[in-house]
Structure 1
Amino acid sequence: MGTNSDLFSEVYGCYYSVVAKILEQAGDGISKSDIEKLVNSHAFYDSAFHLLPKLFSDEWSLLKRQADGKYYSKLQWPDTRRPMTGLEKAWLKALLLDRRILLFVAPDELAALKSALSDIPPLFLTEDFHTYDLAADGDPYEDETYIQNFRSILKACVTKSPVYIQYESGKQRRLARNIVPYHINYSVRDDKFRLLGVLLKGDGRHKKVTLNFARIRSVESSTAVLPVHFNAEKYFVQKTHATPIVLEISEERNALERFMLQFASWEKQTEYDEEKECYTCRIYYDRQDETELLIRILSFGPVVKVLGPEGFLTQIKERINRQYRLNIGENDF
């Protein structure tokens, strides 16, 4: 086990990376001072005390000093990129089996990767995971239009370029807007991707928007010119609500574990109340997440009780009353 741990440490550590850089430059010869500079600039502060003696003394048998005073690589093959470990190959094989993989990899690339890893068992399978409260109307990941739209927006996120998007609203209205994609968000519970972007308006009053990918009908390059010093990030700076949501979580039906998985992305404080034999949890959140939190909390039913704040508690009651009226077919409650 010790040998494996050492290998894992070296493969992923900065020592491997800095030695690889040295060997890349040592093909045509590298001076001792240049080696020292690379170690000092790409490794830790005290790395020189460990690395340099092993390199210069030939303990690692990687460099050879020639008559010109320079050091040359002893490697017969100049490529210093490390090979993938078995664990990495198994992890990659598992990703290739995911039904969303074509959003990120072209069909010919996927075929080539599957062929190269044909003898590698996947690290995990989709059926190894059991997701609670998963929506039944997830995005159409195999749809060609969906795939092309996703890739176009993903590229725009990287290049920070505006795109012209045609979008169908929840009321079946077709809208067309110039948008600067900022971030792509995935919801495990809803099984949907959403685009977070900045809507460009002619009057300069740009605003952040969230679009469901499944409702995007087309994506094209935009001719819109971004303002000088435009920064999409400033539209998404989170502002934590002053008062946290306070919840009481029952010990029944594995509620705490399910709750922690559902709300893993929010800052929380949780403590056990011995007298009540339940957990008290405080969630610190951005106001724009309030509706999402409300829906998720309601999905837990009676095992989660909302204690406050009053405004959030009022919204919970209104939602429950509305659903009750719909269920019994009455207008008033």
Structure 2
Amino acid sequence: MINLFKTYNPLNAVWLAVLLIVLRIGYLFNAPSEIQFLFVEPFARLLIPVDYEFALSPFLNIFLAGLLVFLQALWFNRLVNSFNLMGRPSFLPALMYVVLTALFAPFLILSAPLICNFLVIGMLYRLLATYKMPDAKSVAYDMGMVVALGTLIYLPFIFMFLVVWAALIVFRPFSWREWVAAIIGFATIFFFLAVIYYLTDRLPDFEKIWLPLASKFPAHIQINSYNYLVLIPVAVILLLCFLKVSQLFFRSYVQTRKSFQLLLVLTVIAGLSFYTKKEFHLEHFLLCAVPLAVFFSYYFLYATSKWFYEGLFVLLTAGIIYFQFNTF
């Protein structure tokens, strides 16, 4: 399977769709009768005043989620190959993204983090391109607006603002105008939201939007212990990936090295931003799927022991399917 996706062949999109279905079909047997789907934060419902929590059947919900993942995987694969992050074109980024977005059952349904991944991929397109731009103020302003829009969908997305600033640090010489442009872009969206709150006599509630940002970071996370088992091959692949990156890091182009630094920052920020939600949900970590898919792809593309990396991939996919049929 890995060797098939190491080549950049458009026909691999068909095999990608087949794998996507295989990795999700097991969940249909254990899916709940109702699946809640909230595509905006409560404070943004003034913009979309409709009742949508249980609008879709479980099958349609899972089908649409799979379709979104497939489109994101193709777009993400094009991003990685366009900026030559792997050193040579392949379909591995799309493959790894599809696999990572199937790790846990909450990943398989429509959710705000899944929708926000479109914004994450779009942001990476613009931020990686700033390396060769003479001026990036317009990009910084646009990225500030994108972060604000993502925040309306999913509050923890606000921390992607730090990713925008990290990109300016990594790719650009310091310019305070670019940093301020990002702030202005973010403020523009919330200015209009504040106006709507004012016109509906709810301006005092506007301050409550930011209260979750002051929440204490949790001391522990409750997760089904069986879910840890599927993370074992994930941890092994991630460790091998960083070992491979460390071996080839300084042989890569400067832009590639800087891109990997930004992806590492994105992974950390996306992973730690879950604490702003009162209730912990695993689907939050879908925000980490994009950067982790790049790291995973890098390992599998340059791994040399075929029996080992193919076996490791089979173990990962088999574990995902097994835990979909066994909910314990």
By relative contact order (CA 8 Å, sep 6+), the higher-ranking structure is: 2
Q: Which structure has the bigger radius of gyration? A: 1
Regarding TM over 0.5, the answer is no
Higher share in helix: 2
Higher share in strand: 1
TM-score range, shorter chain: under 0.3
- What TM-score do you get using the length of structure 2 for normalisation? 0.24
- What TM-score do you get using the length of structure 1 for normalisation? 0.24
